[in-house]
Amino acid sequence: MTGGQAVFLPLSGEILSQAGSVLFDDLGSILFYDLHINPICLGELITIFALIELQFISTSQSISGKANDGDEELLTVIYGELESAVKLLMEYGAHQTGLRAKLLQADALEGLNKCDESRKLVDEVLAIAEQIGATDLVSIAKQYVAGETIFNMKRQLANSIPNSHFDIVRNLSDNEINDMARDILEAFNLPADRIKYIVKDLFWDRDDANEITSYCRHMLTKQDITHTLKPDTLYAYDPPRIIECGLLGYRSPQSGTDRTFLINEFKRSFCHMCKRKEI
């Protein structure tokens, strides 16, 4: 977030993004103090959530065909947190996991269009992996060298199975969504009264998935994610959202929390006569 302005991110998959936002704070984060985990576990968790964040960002970009607002800032944060994870893992002897975290740093650099730095990091990991005889890592690093990175693979998959994620989300039952909401509440040790906002987020996500697969694949919901930056504010309120066309860049003139109103206004303003709707 810059200049005090709200940062809007795609809602689809945003629960994963928000989970990562809590982890990607500092060593005084909810994980470090509330879960009391050891340094290796902390490094592994940061690495796992970095992977989730990178998958989310790359999928969002492959769908919209461009970088989204906030991507550069998030990728920079992810890179820095992975750097902390690498130091922890290496210091406490989890060398192979540390090298995997370095490869994710290479993905983050690629997402930032720093391809030369990304390749340099991959070559470094490959050399170390070969030296210590880590055959699995050698194979993965060679895949990176061949261009099989998170961002490249997502771009390729977007053309062949563009709706796979949304097909899964739109078929979630009410019970599954409520179960997911409880899992999120418990995972972050949030007050019970916040579950209503988590549930609303998930139902909004499912409604978006139905819209994307039945009306137009370019419609995206983005929301102000500043509430995810601290455990004290995570799901403490219903964040404002906007609707955006990922193809033409049209955006809701104002944000809100009523999905029906936002969608109907957006369609009335931009979609009614549009000849570029795609499913």
- 156: buried, middle or exposed (CB in 10 Å: 19+, 13-18, 0-12)? exposed
The neighbouring-strand residues paired with 241 are 223, 256
Most confident of 31-45, 146-160, 168-182: 168-182
The answer on pLDDT for 167 being more than 80 is no
Position 37 scores a pLDDT of 55
pLDDT mean across residues, the chain:
79
Most confident of 63-77, 89-103, 139-153: 89-103
What are the residue ranges spanned by the domains of the chain? 14-160, 164-271
Nearest of 8, 4, 7 to residue 242 by alpha carbon: 8
The pLDDT of 200-211, averaged and rounded, is 90
Nearest of 247, 279, 278, 241 to residue 261 by alpha carbon: 241
pLDDT tens digit sequence for 12-62 = 333 233 333 333 333 333 333 334 457 888 888 788 878 878 877 887 776
Percentage of the chain exceeding pLDDT 90? 34
Q: Look at 238 and 69; give whichever has higher pLDDT.
A: 238
Distance CA 115, CA 137 (A): 20
The pLDDT of 217-236, averaged and rounded, is 84
Q: What single-letter amino acid sits at 20?
A: G
Give the number of other CB atoms < 10 A from CB of residue 196: 12
